[in-house]
Amino acid sequence: MTQAQQVDRKLSPAAGFWLRNREVLKKEFSVIGTRVPRIESKNKVTGEARYAADMKFPGMLYGKILRSPYAHAKIISIDTSKAEKLPGVKAVVTGKDTIGARYGLWRLREETMDEQGLALDKVRYVGDEVAAVAAIDEDTAIEALDLIDVKYDVLPALLTPEDAVKDGAPEIHEGIKNNISVNRRIEVGNVDTAWDKCDFVMSDTFKTQVVQHVPMENLASVSIFDSTGKLTVYTSTQSAYFVQCLLAMALGMKEGDIRIIRTFTGGGFGCKLELMGDAFCSALLSKVTGKPVRIAYTRRETFVNSRQKTSMKMDVKVGVKKDGKIHAVEFSTTLDGGAHHSYNVTTTMITGILGTLPYRIPNYRYNGRHVYTNLPVTGAMRGHGAMQPVFALDHMIDLIAKQIGVDPAAMRIMNATQPGDVKIPNICHVSSCGLQEAIAGSAERMNWREKYGKLPDGHGLGIGSYGFFCGALYNYFNTKRPYAECWVRVNQDGTVHIFTLMAEIGQGCDTVISMIVAEVLGVGLDAVTIKSDDTGIVTGDTGAFSSRTTMMAGNAAKAAAEDARRQLFIAAGAKLGLKVQDAFDIKDGNIFIVRTGESMTIAEAAMAHQNANKGAPVLGRGIFTPSSHLQEGTVVSPTWSFGSQVLEVKVDKETGQVSVLNSATAHDCGIALNPLAVEGQLEGSIHMALGYALTEICKFDDKGYMINANFQDYKILSALDMPPVDSIVIDTDDIHGPFGGKEAGEGLTIPTAPAIANAIYDAVGVSIKSLPITPEKILRALKEKEGK
């Protein structure tokens, strides 16, 4: 946001909506709300940052994984003898060398844990891990893979949910009938009696595709078992904690005997959130060889063997009143989970929650079912559980608006969720919500009123709205530790050290956590150092997912800094002779008595504390467990972000090509703690979500092999394809967030696909109900419409 826009936001009461935010903007902060470039950016742009694949240790071996060529097969035998004899090969391991433990994310529900480090008896997708080799270099390891002789008994491959649920279809996981492993249902109001009270009802089917997260850095790990039997793993991950716990389960070790060090992480978006083959196989190979072992994924492996985004087929029925008020929604979806559960046990539920978040739906029924197929594993990805249902519902709104003659933006404002709404009792309660402001703000910025319906043929405007978690609270993982823990140490020289396990993966949380601590302690960012990469130090944080970083780790950091500040105040009070009626303030590195102005530096106070405490430094501890923070009942997320996006497109009617000409996005992230980061997230989100809407899709052949696992054939957008991006930050000052902040990580990816579909519908009058919206689909639809 430029300076001018910031002023504009404060002064113009856009449609009378900003009023609620006035109070907030009056607050005085010195660090919070300033535009801070990422604190680790210099390490990255100079090349001094070391990523997992850059790690080298004396005697280190290189590992490679042998993967199944079949989508579904029994393993009859594995002969590794030839590979073992190849000079340079130090170890070959198969499922027999594992303890055969099953692990998974839902530790509270053991029956959902369906993964094993290496296949024991069966492979379930093309690429499933069958064996692993450690050798003196990667070439030798690759060569050794060819020498492993695996005999398979090939089973029928189930490549679509339709095939997988058929009676008599083979069970991909034993005992899971029809391959349907999860069913979830949500009921609000009474849908069955609601349809009669609607003036207009529409039903349709929508489909979304499988895509991959495409982090710029591929997955990689270096594992080191030392002679005491303890394990250290350097890895590129969003959650050192999950890797630690899952590795302990998979290897039969104690969590405390495993130390995970997160190296600089080049993006994750959900595909580096679990235990993958790189960490598991390198650890096993290190155990066997006693040497450090590195496994770095290729791009194909990141595409196929980390995670992919869940595709869905969604049947949607929406009933509205004459004026456009939504009265009832019935939403049924089938998730194609691929070969294992990953996060989809959760996805099957949250799809039903996130679909309803933007709008008030008095009568709502959701049915979700998760189906196993013999394809790569799908799971969490940025916009998790929201991009699919919101694409369907938010496009449907426009189809209905057209039918009943209501302006789509007005229809959204009329139905928008508002502060204090109870969306789903005991599951989804809203605290702050700036959605109406966001819809009005983004529409106004794009001159909706002047332009909508009045653009030349082939040009169109489209809008999409969304809401998202700020840290889901399901304790499915049975976390034995607090949701977020942070320590803040103030040193004798006035420097401040932060210890957290929240993962900086490129989203800017090291920066925002440092800003929060600096604000509380009245120091500049240059006084702060953050350590966030080591389970050997602070353990209590589950990592970067579910847009939880600012809410969870931010609150923990704030609490820790406040604890440290309290200790400083006590030490300073003793020195300065504080009176009962006096209050302290802390600013610019100084602690001072508000009434007299008497002061001492933070360094002096830290020293005074140590002198008074047998040398113990000022060490603040902060814990954040959101449930204690909430009204009873709001069990899914402490609060929710909201927002709205408007896009202008041009469609070439002869080729079906879509150009995005302009965009404006209004995001309610509570208070924008670091506006620069919010804008960066927005740009990244549009980039990612336009790919999702227009070009990205994982394609498989009829044997389940992914045919486009490279950047020549799988198309993400480049900078050249980016439209202008304009952002409007809606401040709602949330009561739960640290300094009122909410999330700005995932929510922003949600509105783009429906906004594109809506803009195309406005431009050329065709509705495309399956992603990605390729020129070919548009062209076919146009031809059909014109009866050609």
Nearer Cβ to other proteins, position 108 or 707? Answer: 707
Q: Is residue 182 a contact partner of residue 344, using CB atoms and an 8 Å limit?
A: yes
The minimum distance between CB 778 and other proteins, in angstroms, equals 10
Nearer Cβ to other proteins, position 404 or 782? Answer: 782
Which of 86, 176, 574, 716 forms a contact with other proteins (CB under 8 A)?
Answer: 716
Nearer Cβ to other proteins, position 189 or 775? Answer: 775
Site residues for other proteins, 140-199, by CB under 8 A, read: 142
**Please, what sign has the CA dihedral across residues 345, 627, 31, 492?**
negative
The minimum distance between CB 102 and other proteins, in angstroms, equals 32
**Please, what sign has the CA dihedral across residues 479, 280, 127, 374?**
negative
The minimum distance between CB 144 and other proteins, in angstroms, equals 14
Place of tokens 């840290």: 471
Site residues for other proteins, 758-777, by CB under 8 A, read: 774-776
Site residues for other proteins, 686-715, by CB under 8 A, read: 695, 699, 707-708, 712-713, 715
- Of 465, 197, 202, nearest in space to 327 by CA: 197
Residue 482 is which amino acid? P
Rounded-to-integer distance, Cα 750 and Cα 754, Å: 8
The minimum distance between CB 300 and other proteins, in angstroms, equals 8
Nearer Cβ to other proteins, position 443 or 779? Answer: 779
Rounded-to-integer distance, Cα 313 and Cα 457, Å: 31
Site residues for other proteins, 359-398, by CB under 8 A, read: none
Site residues for other proteins, 653-672, by CB under 8 A, read: 654-655, 657
Size, binding site for other proteins by CB under 8 A? 26
Q: Is residue 681 a contact partner of residue 743, using CB atoms and an 8 Å limit?
A: no
Nearer Cβ to other proteins, position 30 or 298? Answer: 298
Nearer Cβ to other proteins, position 379 or 772? Answer: 772
What is the bridge-based pairing of β-strands 363-372 and 378-379?
A: unpaired
Which of 598, 721, 765, 770 forms a contact with other proteins (CB under 8 A)?
Answer: 721
Rounded-to-integer distance, Cα 786 and Cα 767, Å: 14
Rounded-to-integer distance, Cα 360 and Cα 455, Å: 30
The minimum distance between CB 85 and other proteins, in angstroms, equals 20
Is residue 720 a contact point for other proteins (CB under 8 A)?
yes
What is the bridge-based pairing of β-strands 122-123 and 73-79?
A: antiparallel
| DSSP code string of 655-701 | T--EEEEEEEEEEE-BS-SSHHHHHHHHHHHHHHHHIIIII----B-
Nearer Cβ to other proteins, position 140 or 639? Answer: 140
The minimum distance between CB 273 and other proteins, in angstroms, equals 25
Nearer Cβ to other proteins, position 146 or 171? Answer: 146
- Of 417, 473, 324, nearest in space to 668 by CA: 417
Is residue 786 a contact point for other proteins (CB under 8 A)?
no
The minimum distance between CB 378 and other proteins, in angstroms, equals 20
Nearer Cβ to other proteins, position 418 or 655? Answer: 655
Nearer Cβ to other proteins, position 253 or 689? Answer: 689
Q: Cis omega (within 30 of 0) on the bond before 419?
A: no
The minimum distance between CB 708 and other proteins, in angstroms, equals 5
Nearer Cβ to other proteins, position 623 or 716? Answer: 716
- Of 611, 525, 516, 531, nearest in space to 565 by CA: 516
Structure tokens at 78: 């594995």
| DSSP code string of 556-623 | HHHHHHHHHHHHHHHHHHHHHT--TT--EEEETTEEEETTT--EEEHHHHHHHHHHHTTT--EEEEEE
Nearer Cβ to other proteins, position 632 or 654? Answer: 654
The minimum distance between CB 746 and other proteins, in angstroms, equals 23
Which of 66, 440, 779, 781 forms a contact with other proteins (CB under 8 A)?
Answer: 779
Place of tokens 């009378």: 16
Which uninterrupted H or E stretch holds 286? helix 277-289
The minimum distance between CB 688 and other proteins, in angstroms, equals 13
For the beta sheet containing 640-651, the strands, ordered from the edge strand earlier in sequence to the opposite edge, are: 459-469, 640-651, 658-668, 726-730
Taken as a whole, the chain contains a residue count of 788
Q: Give Cα 633 to chain centroid, integer Å.
A: 24
**Please, what sign has the CA dihedral across residues 279, 284, 290, 291?**
negative
Nearer Cβ to other proteins, position 757 or 779? Answer: 779
Which of 46, 227, 228, 718 forms a contact with other proteins (CB under 8 A)?
Answer: 718
φ, ψ of residue 628 in degrees (nearest 5): -70, -10
Nearer Cβ to other proteins, position 178 or 708? Answer: 708
Site residues for other proteins, 271-310, by CB under 8 A, read: 298-300
Q: How far apart are the first and last CA of the chain?
A: 47
Structure tokens at 197: 């009270």
The minimum distance between CB 236 and other proteins, in angstroms, equals 18
Burial of 512 (0-12, 13-18, 19+ CB in 10 A): buried
Rounded-to-integer distance, Cα 279 and Cα 764, Å: 49
- Of 222, 261, 257, nearest in space to 240 by CA: 261
The minimum distance between CB 428 and other proteins, in angstroms, equals 37
Q: Is residue 500 a contact partner of residue 485, using CB atoms and an 8 Å limit?
A: yes
Rounded-to-integer distance, Cα 596 and Cα 603, Å: 20
Nearer Cβ to other proteins, position 244 or 306? Answer: 306
Nearer Cβ to other proteins, position 63 or 741? Answer: 63
Site residues for other proteins, 121-150, by CB under 8 A, read: 138-139, 142
Structure tokens at 536: 């050997």
The minimum distance between CB 159 and other proteins, in angstroms, equals 17
The minimum distance between CB 714 and other proteins, in angstroms, equals 8
The minimum distance between CB 216 and other proteins, in angstroms, equals 15
The minimum distance between CB 301 and other proteins, in angstroms, equals 10
Interface with other proteins by CB under 8 A: which residues?
138-139, 142, 298-300, 654-655, 657, 695, 699, 707-708, 712-713, 715-718, 720-721, 774-776, 779-780
